[in-house]
Structure 1
Amino acid sequence: MTLLFDLQAVGVQFGRVQALRGCTLCIQAGERLALVGSNGSGKSTLLRTLHGLVKPDQGHFQADARARQAMLFQRPYMLRASVLHNVALGLWLSSVPWTLAKAQALQALERVGLADLAGRHAKALSGGQQQRVALARAWALKAQVLLLDEPTSSLDPAAKREVERLMAEFADDGMTLIFSSHNLGQVKRLASRVVYLEQGRLIADLPTAAFFNGPLPVAADNFLKGELG
């Protein structure tokens, strides 16, 4: 397998806050990795570090520069433009001619079931539809690695199911998934591997079945019992 990310004793500090502490983690292509932990545990910082938005202060970090990445946030940014133009712009910025970019954007919207909304103003969409537009952008750009920060936390059940379905389908097509989630049911459904973080430290790193069936380090076990209780 291809090694996409290699972190060795990585630390990230924001002022007086140590967001990551001595994190050692390797991620291979094709994995479905879930990051779990309480608020402030370091999940978002780790995702941003992997995506190159945050530079570590300590340790060694290496990412495969050949792998195309896309990142989805809890609330995706939508331009004040049509849904089609929101997807096409990323292609155009990647040197795709505008006419072709619009055609490829429409294909991407068809892929996520939103072709009928191509002409609508993107900011008028529901939260779930906006996440699907963001997924269309990633698909259009042929992302090989998809990083998602709590992608369904503010969505209603139907929208969550739709976003989860697309995540699973993208992974089945070979895309690497790395996502944070408080929804342990979602973690069970989508992840093949679970990393538990607490106060910036990586406490557990296990296959999904092993994480949910134990044994676990005490901190991770207490978290799991609290979330499932």
Structure 2
Amino acid sequence: MTELFQLQAVDVYYGRVQALSGCTLRIQAGERLALVGSNGSGKSTLLRTLNGLVKPAAGSLQHDTRACQAMLFQRPYMLRASVLRNVALGLWLAGVPWREAKAQALVALERVGLAHLATRNAKALSGGQQQRVALARAWALKPQVLLLDEPTASLDPSAKREVERLMAEFADAGMTLIFSSHNLGQVKRLAQRVIYLELGRLVADLPTEAFFGGPVPAAAEAFLKGELA
């Protein structure tokens, strides 16, 4: 399998606060990888580091530059424009002519079931609909790697199911999926491999069945039992 990312003893700081400490990790193409841990454990920082938004202060990060990436944030940013324009703009910025970008954006919206809202102001959509627009915007770029930071946080159950369905379909089509989540049921449903982080340190790296079936490090066991602050 193609290796997409290789992190070796990576440290990341925000000012004096260390967000990642000695993180060593390898990720292969086609994996479905979940990042779990309490708030402040380093999940979002690790995703941003993989995406190149945060630079390591120490250690090394190697990645396959041929693999196109897209990242979705917990609260996707929507321009004060139509849904179609929000999706088409990403393609246009990637070099696609505007007329073609709009046509491809409509295909992407059809893919996530929102073509009927193409002319609606994106800011007026529900949280679940905005997240699906963000997924369409990412999918339209045909990325090999999709990174998602708490993609269903604050969504109602119906919207969560729809976003999960799209994530699973994208992964089934060969896209590498790396996502953070507090929803352990979601992790069980979508991930093949689980990374547990605590205070910026990678504590456990296990197949999903092994992570939830044990044995796991004591800190991860406490997290699974809901006993970790």
- Normalised-by-shorter TM-score class: over 0.9
Structure 1 regions of 5+ residues with no counterpart?
none
Structure 2 distance, partners of 1:83, 1:29, is 31
1:56-67 equivalences under 5 Å are 56-67=56-67
Q: How much has 1:95 moved relative to structure 2?
A: 1.3
- Deviations along 1:119-173, one digit per CA (max 9) or x if unpaired, are 0000000000000001001111001100000010110000000000000000000
Matched with 2:106 is 106
Structure 2 distance, partners of 1:30, 1:123, is 33
Structure 2 regions of 5+ residues with no counterpart?
none
Matched with 1:182 is 182
1:55-204 equivalences under 5 Å are 55-204=55-204
Structure 1 distance, partners of 2:82, 2:89, is 11
- Deviations along 1:4-26, one digit per CA (max 9) or x if unpaired, are 00000000011121100000000
- Deviations along 1:87-134, one digit per CA (max 9) or x if unpaired, are 001111111111111000000000000000000000000000000001
One-letter amino acid of the structure 2 residue matched with residue 97 of structure 1: P
SS at match of 1:76: coil
Structure 1 distance, partners of 2:190, 2:227, is 18
SS at match of 1:85: helix
- Write out the 4+ residue segments of structure 1 that deviate beyond 3 Å after TM superposition: none
Matched with 2:208 is 208
Matched with 2:32 is 32
Q: How much has 1:227 moved relative to structure 2?
A: 7.0
One-letter amino acid of the structure 2 residue matched with residue 88 of structure 1: A
Structure 2 distance, partners of 1:213, 1:187, is 13
Structure 2 distance, partners of 1:163, 1:6, is 28
* TM-score (normalised: structure 2): 0.98
Q: CA RMSD in A?
A: 1.0
Structure 2 distance, partners of 1:176, 1:221, is 27
One-letter amino acid of the structure 2 residue matched with residue 76 of structure 1: P
Number of corresponding residues: 228
Structure 1 distance, partners of 2:17, 2:141, is 35
Structure 2 distance, partners of 1:205, 1:174, is 22
SS at match of 2:186: helix
SS at match of 2:61: strand
One-letter amino acid of the structure 1 residue matched with residue 55 of structure 2: K
SS at match of 2:80: coil
Structure 1 distance, partners of 2:227, 2:48, is 25
One-letter amino acid of the structure 1 residue matched with residue 187 of structure 2: V
SS at match of 2:9: strand
One-letter amino acid of the structure 2 residue matched with residue 52 of structure 1: G
Structure 1 distance, partners of 2:115, 2:60, is 43
Structure 1 distance, partners of 2:35, 2:101, is 34
SS at match of 2:147: strand
* TM-score (normalised: structure 1): 0.98
1:45-56 equivalences under 5 Å are 45-56=45-56
